[in-house]
Amino acid sequence: MNAWERAEGSPFPLGASWIAEESSFNFSLYSRHATAVHLLLYRKGDLVHPAREVKLNYLFNKSGPIWHCRIHCESSDDWAYYAYRVDGPAPQGGYDFHDFDFQKVLLDPFAKRVFFPESFSREAARRPGSNEGQAPLGILPNQFCEFDWQDDRISRHGSDLVIYEMHVRGFTNNPNSGVPETHQGTFLGVVDKIPYLVELGVTAVELMPVFQFDPDDGNYWGYMPLNFFSPHHAYSTNPSACNQRDEFRMMVKELHAVGIEVILDVVYNHTCEGDHRGPTYSWKGIDSSTAYMMTGNANTPYANHSGTGNTMHTANRAIRRMIVDSLRFWDSHMHVDGFRFDLASVFTRNSDGSINLDDPPIVSEIGTDSDLCDDRLIAEPWDADGQFQLGKKFPGQRWMQWNAHYRDTMQRFVRGDRGMVPDLMTRLYGSCDLFPDDLRHALQPSLSVNYITSHDGSTMYDLTAYNEKRNWANGHNNTDGAKEYSWDCGWEGDEETPSEILQIRKQQVRNFFCLLMLSNGTPMFRMGDEFLQTQRGNNNPYNQDNATSWLDWVRRVEHADIFEFVREMIAFRKSHPSISRSRFWRGDVRWYGTGHLVDMSSESRQLAYCLHGESQSDKDIYVMINAGSESTEFGIQEWAFEKWRLAVDTSFTSLSELASRSESQCVVTPTWNSPSRSVCVLVER
C-alpha cells in the first residue's frame, strides 16, 4: 500500500501534508462533483505563473469523492505556495447548482496558513475568469515548523469562571495601549497585556473570530471566514514563515501559564464567499452544493439562514467532517480550551432548511468526539432566519449558551422598568426556566452564559449614555444594530456631560456588574466595559476598524474607580463559591421584598434575598436591590442584624472606599436604607 500511496497519493489527511521520510508533499481535496482538478505550485517570485501544474488523473488520483496526489520535492525545488483549479458541471437546476470556473485559482479549505499577494483582490474573485496573481494561496507545510509547548496545561475553572470577550486587534491596536508598536493589534499584543488581565481577575478570554477571514471584505469583527484551519494573517507580527501559528500558540501558552482559559468564537455557519454574486475563493469553486445549502431557486441559489448570503451545509457528512477536523486542529495543535459557535441554530437545519431538534448530526458529532470531550462548547442558540433555541430547546446537552433573556432582563430592570422582579429572580437564580434540572432534562445553571453587553450591541457605558443608536458610519442609514434597553440617565450622548449625570451612569454600570457577579451561572462581559469604553452610540461597529472599536486605554486611567469596582466584584464572586454552583440554589435561598414578602406587582422595582452558604462552606449573603428613583428602606429578614456587615454598596465608588469607613463594618439596626438605583450586599460577620 505504501508503494501505491507514493505513486498516487493518499486521500487522508485532507489538505497538504509533508512526508519527511519521502521528501514529498501529499495533497488531498474533497470534491464530489468535480470533473477535473489541477494542483498549482508557486514560487515566491512568481505568483502568476505556477512553477508546476499537476493534472490529476481520476483513474489514479481519485478515491471516491477525494482527489489526491503525492509530489516529490527535490532540493532545488523552491515552491512556497499552492492552490487548485477545479472544473465541473455547469449550473444545474434544483439543489444541484454548481459554481465551477476552471480559470479560478482556488484556496485549499484545509490549508493551515494563508498567503495574500500584494495584488490580492476580492473583486477579481467576484467576476468570471482568471484571478491569477490576485488569489489567496495556501502556504506549503514546513517540516521545521515545530512549537515547544513544554508542560503547557490548563485546569478548567468552576465557580471562579469569568469570561472576558475580546477582539484581538481592538484590544491593543490603539497607540495608547502601551504595547510595542510592532505588537499592536496582534496575538503578541495580548501577551503583553496578560498582567492587566491577571489584575482584573478574569479566568477565560473569549476571542472574537481569529480564523483567517477576508481582508478585503470590510468586516473588522472577523465574521467572514475564508479558512477554518489558519489564524488570521494580520494578527501576527510577520505573516510569513511559521509566525501565523506560532504567535497564536505563544499567546495561548502564556495565558495558560497564568491560569486563563482560551475560548475561540468560531464561525462555521457561513463563509465570506456570499451568494451567487459574491467571490469565488475556495468552497464555491471546489464543490458549492456540498459546501452550501441550496434553495432550488435559480435566481437565489444559496440559502441564507445566516444573513450573510450563504449557509454552510452542515447536514452534509463531508462538511461535518471538515468542521470536526477543524475543531480537533485547534484543540490538539493550538491548545485552545473551548469554542463559542456563532449562529449555532444553523447546525439544526436539514439540507432543505427544515429544523431537526431531535438529533442533528453535527451537534452530536461535536458533542461526542473523544478529542473534544474536555472542551467548553458554547452556543449562540439562534440564527438570522428566525430560529431561537435558547435553553432546553437547543439539542446540545452539555453545551453552554449565550443567554439573551438574561441580557434583556438586566438591561430593563437596571434602567428602571417596572414589573421585572419575577424575571429578575429567575435570572439571578440561574434561569431554571430555560435550563431546568428536572428528571427529563437534568440541566445546570452553569450552562447559562450570563451577559449584559457583548460585541453585538452597545458597550455597557453606552447603554447608560444613549437612548438612540448612532450607526450612521456603518453605511446602512442607521437601520442596523440590535434592539436594546438603554437609558441615557437624563442626558443624551457623551458631549459636555454634567458631572452629576456621569455619576449616575457610573452607578448604573456598577449595578450591572454587581448583579452579573451575584448571579448563578457563568458571567461574561466585553473588553473595556471595566473602564467605560464607548463607541459613541454605535451599537453595530462590525466594519469600524478605527478608534470607534479600538480600546481607548486613556479611559482606564480616567475611570480607574470603575475598573477597581469591577476587579473587586470579580474577587468577591471568587471568594464566595456559593454564588456560582454546579446546581441551582434551591433551599439555600430565601426571597424577600422590602418586607418579608416579595412584591411581584407590575409596579415593583425592589427585591431582596438571602443566600445561605453553609452547604458550600461559605458565609451567608444578604442582597438588597433597589432600581427605583428614590431610596428605600429594607427590613433585614434573617438573623439578628448584628450578624451582618456591609460588603457592597454600588452608591460607593469601590468596595475599598466602603471598607475604609468604620460605619460600614457592621449593621446596627434591623432595617437598611438602600439608596436609589443601588445594590447593597451584606455578608455574615
Contact (CB, 8 A) for 10 and 70: yes
CA pair distance 339, 331, nearest whole angstrom? 9
Give the sheet arrangement for strand 589-592, strand by strand: 589-592, 606-611, 621-626, 678-684, 644-649
CA pair distance 129, 245, nearest whole angstrom? 32
Residue 342 known to be catalytic: yes
CA pair distance 169, 186, nearest whole angstrom? 6
H-helix segments, 402-475:
404-415, 421-429, 460-463
Q: How many Cα atoms are found within 13 Å in the side-chain-facing hemisphere of 183?
A: 17
**Burial code of 356-391, b = ≥16 C-beta within 10 A, e = fewer?**
eeeebebbebbeeeeebeebbbbbbbbbbbebebbb
Cis omega before residue 13 (within 30°)?
A: yes
Q: Which of 101, 273, 342, 456 is catalytic?
A: 342
Contact (CB, 8 A) for 307 and 275: no
Three cell numbers at 321? 467532517
Residue of 534, 586, 198, 215 lying closest to 429 (CA atoms): 586
First CA to last CA distance, the chain: 74
Burial class (CB in 10 A: 0-12, 13-18, 19+), 36: middle
How many C-beta atoms surround the C-beta of residue 307 within 10 A? 12
Q: How many Cα atoms are found within 13 Å in the side-chain-facing hemisphere of 483?
A: 4
Residue 385 known to be catalytic: no
Q: Which of 192, 273, 380, 620 is catalytic?
A: 380
| Residue positions annotated with a catalytic role | 342, 380
